[in-house]
């Protein structure tokens, strides 16, 4: 599955940040929940697992982070991010190509980080071994007392995600051991992308987080997103059965 995901994200990489329209309601929700969840990140050194073109990394820098190391499987996505950073004339991000479900010892990473982010990679896993491999890296590189932030899907089959009325759509569901495979698309993308999620995360269970040393596990309140405050009627049905969650937690000391 890694090769398929790499190929499909590489295909979307050109002008990815432009195509990932911030005007789409679900993109606004995702971004604004992240900004709310990270809060003040002054001086933080961050590891961004599956950071792509650095969308969340740039929000983190805006929140005060000192530096971000980004790991992703798509060289095309990272190249777009590097181009954006070059136009900003700054050098606060490092970029590494790797599969975040595998050991990362071959990379010149820091021993531990103040914050580890993993936004959406849990929805590109084909089995529990892959998912646990990602969590092992979160546990290894997050310092005791450090913060974890990560967006994940809720049940992919919730009505609003099937309808696609908020700018993103899930379709072509196939049950797999422990989870579900599907395709997702955004209104601004040229094509859809393969995804698969394990019930261990999309169910809302905190067991796997706790297994890998995370505590105080919370979902960022949806009402903290400006787009929800501004358009409450638009979100009524979605908030009854949300399609995504921004999870935040702390590594136990």
Tell me the domain boundaries of the chain.
Answer: 2-154+203-251
Say what the pLDDT of residue 14 is: 60
Please give the pLDDT value at position 1: 67
Strand boundaries in the chain, DSSP class E: 45-49, 67-72, 93-97, 113-118, 142-153, 168-176, 179-186, 193-198, 214-219, 244-251
Which residue ranges of the chain lie beneath pLDDT 70?
1-2, 4-22, 188-190
For position 28, what pLDDT does the model report? 92
Residue 12's pLDDT is 58
Task: Report pLDDT for 192.
Answer: 85
Give the model's pLDDT for residue 4: 57
Q: How far apart are CA 237 and CA 53, in angstroms?
A: 31
Tokens read off for 127: 């089995």
* Cβ neighbours, 10 Å, residue 18: 10
Q: Would the pTM count as exceeding 0.85? A: yes
Q: Of 32, 129, 21, 16, which Cα lies nearest the Cα of 80? A: 16
What is the full DSSP assignment across 153-215?
Answer: ES-TT-HHHHHTTTSEEEEEEEEETTEEEEEEEETTSSS-EEEEEEHHHHT---HHHHHTTEE
Q: 31: alpha, beta or left, given left = phi > 0 and alpha = psi -120 to 50?
A: alpha
3-state SS, residue 107? coil
Q: Contact at 8 Å (CB) between 70 and 94?
A: yes
φ/ψ (deg, to 5) at 195 = -145, 160
The structure tokens listed for 121 are 């990679």
Report the CATH fold assignment for 2-154+203-251.
Rossmann fold (3.40.50)
| Residue for token pair 């929805």 | 123
């Amino acid at each position: 599955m890694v090769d398929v995901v790499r190929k499909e994200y590489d295909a979307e990489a050109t002008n990815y940040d432009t195509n990932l329209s911030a005007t789409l309601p679900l993109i606004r929700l995702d971004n604004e929940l992240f900004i709310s969840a990270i809060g003040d990140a002054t001086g933080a050194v961050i590891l961004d697992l599956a950071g792509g073109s650095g969308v969340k990394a740039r929000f983190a820098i805006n929140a005060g982070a000192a530096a971000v190391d980004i790991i992703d499987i798509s060289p095309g996505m990272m190249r777009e991010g590097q181009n954006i950073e070059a136009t900003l004339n700054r050098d606060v991000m490092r970029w590494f190509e790797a599969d975040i479900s595998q050991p990362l010892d071959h990379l010149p990473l820091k021993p531990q980080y103040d914050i580890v982010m993993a936004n959406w990679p849990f929805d590109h896993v084909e089995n529990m071994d892959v998912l646990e491999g990602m969590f092992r890296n979160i546990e290894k590189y997050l310092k005791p007392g450090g913060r974890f932030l990560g967006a994940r899907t809720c049940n992919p089959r919730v009505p609003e995600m099937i309808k696609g009325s908020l700018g993103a759509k899930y379709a072509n569901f196939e049950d797999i051991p422990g989870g579900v495979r599907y395709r997702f698309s955004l209104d601004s993308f040229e094509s859809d992308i393969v995804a698969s999620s394990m019930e261990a995360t999309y169910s809302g269970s905190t067991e796997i987080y706790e297994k890998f040393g995370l505590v105080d596990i919370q979902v960022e309140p949806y009402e903290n997103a400006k787009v929800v405050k501004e358009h409450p009627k638009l979100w009524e049905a979605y908030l009854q059965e949300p399609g995504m969650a921004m999870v935040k937690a702390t590594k136990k000391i």
